[in-house]
Structure 1
Amino acid sequence: MVNKDTVDYSLYLVTDSTKVILGDQDLVEVVEKAVKGGVTIVQYRDKVSETRDLIQTAKRLHEVTQAYNIPLLINDRVDVALAVGCEGVHIGQDDIDISSARRILGNNAIIGVTASSTEEALAAAEAGANYLGIGTVFATPTKENTKSIIGTAGVRSILGALSSLQTPPKTVCIGGINEDNVQRVLYQSVSINPPKSLDGIAVVSAIVSALDPEAAAKQLRSLIRTPPPFAIQVKKHKLMIEADENHVRLDLTFKPIVTELIKKLVDTNPICHNMTNTVVQNLAANVALAIGASPIMSLNPAEVPSLSHLASSLLLNLGTLTPSLLPIYTTALATYNRTGAPTILDPVGCGATPFRRSAVQHLLTHGYPTLIKGNASEILAVASIAGTDNLPEGATQRGVDNTASLPPEAKARVVKSLARTLRCLVLMTGSSDVLSDGHIVFSISNGNALLGEFTGSGCALGTAVAAVLAVGREDALMAVLAGVLVYEIAAQRAVAGGKVKGPGTFVPAWLDELYAIREETKAGEMGWVDNAWVEVWGEGRGWVMPWSVVSTLPIA
């Protein structure tokens, strides 16, 4: 007998008997194969059959689920559940209320409720729902009356609201979940503070429409239990700091971390796959070569599968994106996600046009970037698309130019919030670059103003960072920091040489300094990193020690 308090919701199958989904298969046979493959709970959903037929099919399904000791729930129809004697029902917002269903079915019944908002979720929890079906996550043809598509950001928001409850109900998400996105959905849906994750995923066509439902269920089960290969790794380093009442400066005891990563880059010579805009391909390739990487500048979709195994990182730069290129970028991102190689999304000008905003939303829906890199206007646009809370107002974008002017604290909050929302790294470039993993924030004040005086310097930074990430995926945050530092310290050294008169003389001098740093690192000379200026922004209103929220210092 199934105990409603110990149900495993990890792989929840919702049936569909329509011709377009089920085809010519027998539903009961499909469900039995799926249960053999690892489905842990089944919901029988049929909106069109007569009551008599519903009961007959439900009884056959119940025989299957009872044999494997898993629950069978009936969608909407309390009368059918009662007639069959199965374990419970799932009800929508427009169906019978929870208290009435509980009164009819008794205290031992499992009652699940659909929730598409925090208000619906909290109301259902208060009314005594055993679990919530959260969604719709992605657009899907199996449900016609979806109130809204909430994405992983909506799921995370609901989980965050539920985490405040003393005994929150179990949760599954539903809507377009399949083997291509299940790990990303589970990973990005986690509510961080306080932590709460989904208890499972609900699928329909991913199993019901599969040629082999048992194999499809086994694959989903395996993916649910396995950490995603693309998940960022952030080591916890004990970095010393110098502090006064106004700010904190990192002690250069972090120097070995940065220099070790750059030495690994020089020794490894990783291949970096650049899908970048046509304006800066030459510059980006030269930057990669100068610091010790091997760039491949390819937009050819036929090469993506091979390169995803050959290359060590992928840069997607949207500078000259077209409708025909978007599917190629989408496929590349998903392919690299499967290999676990780091991916960098540079959403160039994404706040400038509806097409660019739509393209970024599409890519974030269908893939996971290890790092999102952009100027303040671009990062604000991405944060808005991702559903990040409490964004500052008034930021606009003209072309690819940055017209957002934000104080340091606002930059730190936006970058940290977006990183936490998408569970990735975020780098906001500017006079001071701001980098976060969602927990702490680095502010990097190196570089030179001439980096902003020629086309493509920001795009080329993406290439430099991709190169270091390629060898530093086990310490992703510090790898991005190292990439920014080598890029910008080279710019400082170029100007300090005294021969730079403007952008035209700056670029070759800067490339020379990138090369010089590479050669110095190869020779074991690490003094170049002594010029680094990095500050740390943490929890609360002040500067704090990295990886610690214990003590804060006031900001004057």
Structure 2
Amino acid sequence: MSVQKPTVDYSLYLVTGRELLPEGKDYLESLEESIKGGVTLVQVREKHAETGEFLRIAQASKDICRKYNVPILINDRIDIALAIQADGVHIGQSDMPVETARKLLPPNAIIGMTCNTVEHVRKAVQDGVDYVGLGPVWGTQTKKLTSPIVGVRGIGPLLDALEGTDVKAVSIAGIKSTNALHCLHGSVSMSGRSLDGLAVVSDIVASKDPYTAAKRIATIIKACKANPIICFSTFPPSYAPDAIKHSVGELLEAVKQHSPIVHQITNNVVTTQSANATIALGASPIMATAPEEMADLAAVSGGLLVNFGTIQNLDGMVAAGFNYNQNRKPVVFDPVGVGATGYRRASAATLLNAWQATVIKGNSGELAALANSNEVQAKGVDSVGQGFADPATFVRNLARKERAIIVLTGVTDYVSDGTTVVRLSNGHPLLGEITGSGCMVGTAVAAFCAGASTAESSKRSPDEAEDAKLVRGDMLVAAVGGVLAITVASELAAARADVKGSGTFLPALIDELGALTPEKIATYGKVEVI
């Protein structure tokens, strides 16, 4: 006979920690304010309290939770959970086995377990847990970590292991209001399984105003649940190539009209020509790398390009992406040569776990390295071999994995948001004979993304309520627009009588970018929707 268990909303899962309370803040007062702010589940954690004190704290916590009909769990201690008749327990990998805990607890008790690997998740499901805590997502000061940091991008494979089950999942460790949206957005399985909630400790417990701290995170969670696709919109199946080109033309006009600032942290080989390409398209470039500038620049710029062809200030890149995420501005990531060295691969992982990319652009070797695929090899910044056997499927899957628009550059370019794939067939061989043509594509994509975001934001009043979107505007159209701008302009430049080779091609390319119009995009753009 099945046992009816209590209904649990895992959305905002508070883990207590009295040692984190600010001076003068009473624990029970903080707990009640947190629940009023939106906490939906409480776990009482007392790592150092004697049994009598733990029992007293747990009972008082339960009284408050019952007042607001919020379930209460006890960390580790089965005896305390039984003594106060808690709703269940949370246990770690080194604690009492689930099977034993299940025998001791009432049949309707909730049991959760911390899981750091796919094997942990599979075993927890086999043992019959009700939920899993996945992580650590980030480093935390609330407890000494005994397992490697999983990162936002590492949560997806753990969620994959839950497919076909009704086991719930929350992320754990280092969750704050400033990274909650990134965590919810980026922690998604390949099939679309997402988190059921976030477990939070210090951001609420250490706050002098736990009501507001809890409400801030609860608002983000509710908005995300109401609108699961929070980074970009997808094309409906009937979206036609001509309609895409028309939208790209509108974005080109928006870039020229709004002249958004495009902040570029780029490699020193291409700084000048990237700036010139930005100006030619109608946007305004700024090149800045100091971490101390990022908060101010993110507030005024239309978008960010991070190109680490020459990695010189990783801290600046981390700070930049984080601040642009906070301001709901697009972030374009160009992982130049990411497969060339271990340091580049580690740096890319650091960046993509620190912030959410809106668009990731690269050649086949770079994107294969990012996806941990051996299908295409890289030599320096170039790809080796014939490319992907099925590039459309590759970009679609990578977009789902990274929760970003993927731009695969090559003789034929592919752009995907994880659902739709757009194939682009413009370009000229002379692009391959000048330094940094691929970097200029990243610049153009960033300019179009900034234009799309700025144009969309200009339609909203300052008083309009925030939503859960990381970026406003159609970023798939923007990414397609950036690629078309460079490739169409390259064909027009190469056809000019004054172009004799690569030396005369580059200035002609800048000229044609400046002369680009919606009509030229519509006439020359070669666009297919797959």
TM-score under structure 1 normalisation?
A: 0.85
User: What is the CA–CA distance in structure 2 between the aligned matches of 1:173 and 1:51, rounded to whole Å?
Assistant: 28
> Match of 2:371, SS?
helix
- CA deviations 1:98-147 (Å, max 9, x no partner) are 23222222122221122223333233233332222122222223343533
1:23 deviates by 6.1
The one-letter code matched in structure 1 to 2:334 is D
How does 1:213-252 map onto structure 2 within 5 Å? 213-227=210-224, 231-236=231-236, 238-240=238-240, 252=242
Aligned to 1:331: 319
Aligned to 1:396: 378
The one-letter code matched in structure 2 to 1:458 is G
How does 1:109-120 map onto structure 2 within 5 Å? 109-120=109-120
Contact 2:280 2:514 in 1 (8 A): yes
User: What is the CA–CA distance in structure 2 between the aligned matches of 1:135 and 1:154, rounded to whole Å?
Assistant: 8
Aligned to 2:252: 262
> Match of 2:384, SS?
coil
User: What is the CA–CA distance in structure 2 between the aligned matches of 1:303 and 1:48, rounded to whole Å?
Assistant: 42
1:293 aligns with 2:275: no
The one-letter code matched in structure 2 to 1:501 is K
Contact 2:153 2:352 in 1 (8 A): no
1:534 aligns with 2:530: no
- CA deviations 1:239-292 (Å, max 9, x no partner) are 45xxxxxxxxx5x45432232222332333222222222222211111112122
Contact 1:341 1:470 in 2 (8 A): yes
Aligned to 2:294: 304
Larger CA deviation: 262-271 vs 415-424: 262-271
1:331 deviates by 1.6
CA gap of 1:394–1:462, structure 2 versus 1, over 3 A, is closer
User: What is the CA–CA distance in structure 2 between the aligned matches of 1:230 and 1:293, rounded to whole Å?
Assistant: 26
> Match of 2:434, SS?
coil
The one-letter code matched in structure 2 to 1:340 is R
User: What is the CA–CA distance in structure 2 between the aligned matches of 1:260 and 1:220, rounded to whole Å?
Assistant: 36
% identical equivalent positions: 41
1:348 deviates by 1.9
The one-letter code matched in structure 2 to 1:327 is D
How does 1:512-527 map onto structure 2 within 5 Å? 512-518=511-517, 521=518, 526-527=519-520
Contact 1:230 1:337 in 2 (8 A): no
Aligned to 1:172: 170
Aligned to 2:198: 201
1:319 aligns with 2:309: yes
The one-letter code matched in structure 2 to 1:216 is A
How does 1:113-192 map onto structure 2 within 5 Å? 113-165=113-165, 168-192=166-190
User: What is the CA–CA distance in structure 2 between the aligned matches of 1:254 and 1:424, rounded to whole Å?
Assistant: 19
Larger CA deviation: 34-43 vs 484-493: 34-43
Once superposed, which parts of structure 1, at least 4 consecutive aligned residues long, lie more than 6 Å away?
none
Contact 2:249 2:521 in 1 (8 A): no
Contact 1:230 1:339 in 2 (8 A): no
1:81 deviates by 0.8
> Match of 1:352, SS?
coil
Which residue, 415, 440, 447 being the options, matches 2:427?
447
Aligned to 2:13: 12
CA gap of 1:271–1:394, structure 2 versus 1, over 3 A, is closer
The one-letter code matched in structure 1 to 2:286 is I
CA gap of 1:430–1:97, structure 2 versus 1, over 3 A, is same
> Match of 1:147, SS?
coil
User: What is the CA–CA distance in structure 2 between the aligned matches of 1:253 and 1:97, rounded to whole Å?
Assistant: 58
1:6 deviates by 1.6
1:476 aligns with 2:464: no
- CA deviations 1:441-487 (Å, max 9, x no partner) are 22322111211222221112111111111222422111211221121
Aligned to 1:56: 56
1:279 aligns with 2:261: no
Aligned to 1:101: 101
Contact 2:246 2:522 in 1 (8 A): no
1:85 aligns with 2:73: no
> Match of 1:407, SS?
coil
The one-letter code matched in structure 2 to 1:328 is G
Aligned to 2:207: 210
Contact 1:188 1:422 in 2 (8 A): yes
What residue ranges of structure 2 are gaps of 5+ in the alignment? 454-472
1:79 deviates by 0.9
- CA deviations 1:403-434 (Å, max 9, x no partner) are 33343434333322221111101112222222
Aligned to 1:368: 356
What residue ranges of structure 1 are gaps of 5+ in the alignment? 241-249, 385-390, 538-556
Contact 2:91 2:114 in 1 (8 A): yes
User: What is the CA–CA distance in structure 1 between the aligned matches of 2:297 and 2:234, rounded to whole Å?
Assistant: 25
TM-score under structure 2 normalisation?
A: 0.89
Aligned residues: 504
1:376 deviates by 2.0
1:358 aligns with 2:346: yes
User: What is the CA–CA distance in structure 2 between the aligned matches of 1:196 and 1:5, rounded to whole Å?
Assistant: 23
1:178 deviates by 0.9
1:393 deviates by 4.4
User: What is the CA–CA distance in structure 2 between the aligned matches of 1:153 and 1:421, rounded to whole Å?
Assistant: 8
The one-letter code matched in structure 1 to 2:420 is I
Contact 1:392 1:410 in 2 (8 A): no
Contact 2:295 2:323 in 1 (8 A): yes
> Match of 1:162, SS?
coil
Which residue, 397, 407, 431 being the options, matches 1:427?
407
CA gap of 1:269–1:342, structure 2 versus 1, over 3 A, is same
Larger CA deviation: 137-146 vs 481-490: 137-146
> Match of 1:472, SS?
helix
> Match of 2:113, SS?
strand
Contact 2:234 2:419 in 1 (8 A): no
> Match of 2:39, SS?
coil
User: What is the CA–CA distance in structure 2 between the aligned matches of 1:350 and 1:361, rounded to whole Å?
Assistant: 10
User: What is the CA–CA distance in structure 1 between the aligned matches of 2:294 and 2:95, rounded to whole Å?
Assistant: 47
Contact 2:175 2:200 in 1 (8 A): yes
> Match of 1:409, SS?
coil
1:513 deviates by 1.5
User: What is the CA–CA distance in structure 2 between the aligned matches of 1:450 and 1:427, rounded to whole Å?
Assistant: 20
Contact 1:22 1:208 in 2 (8 A): yes
> Match of 2:377, SS?
coil
Contact 1:293 1:467 in 2 (8 A): yes
How does 1:502-513 map onto structure 2 within 5 Å? 502-513=501-512
- CA deviations 1:290-312 (Å, max 9, x no partner) are 12222222334454333323221
The one-letter code matched in structure 2 to 1:415 is V
1:488 aligns with 2:478: no
User: What is the CA–CA distance in structure 2 between the aligned matches of 1:317 and 1:327, rounded to whole Å?
Assistant: 14
The one-letter code matched in structure 1 to 2:179 is N
User: What is the CA–CA distance in structure 1 between the aligned matches of 2:60 and 2:387, rounded to whole Å?
Assistant: 64
CA gap of 1:528–1:90, structure 2 versus 1, over 3 A, is closer
CA gap of 1:302–1:145, structure 2 versus 1, over 3 A, is closer
Aligned to 1:247: none
1:405 aligns with 2:385: yes
CA gap of 1:29–1:470, structure 2 versus 1, over 3 A, is same
Aligned to 1:500: 499
Contact 2:280 2:513 in 1 (8 A): yes
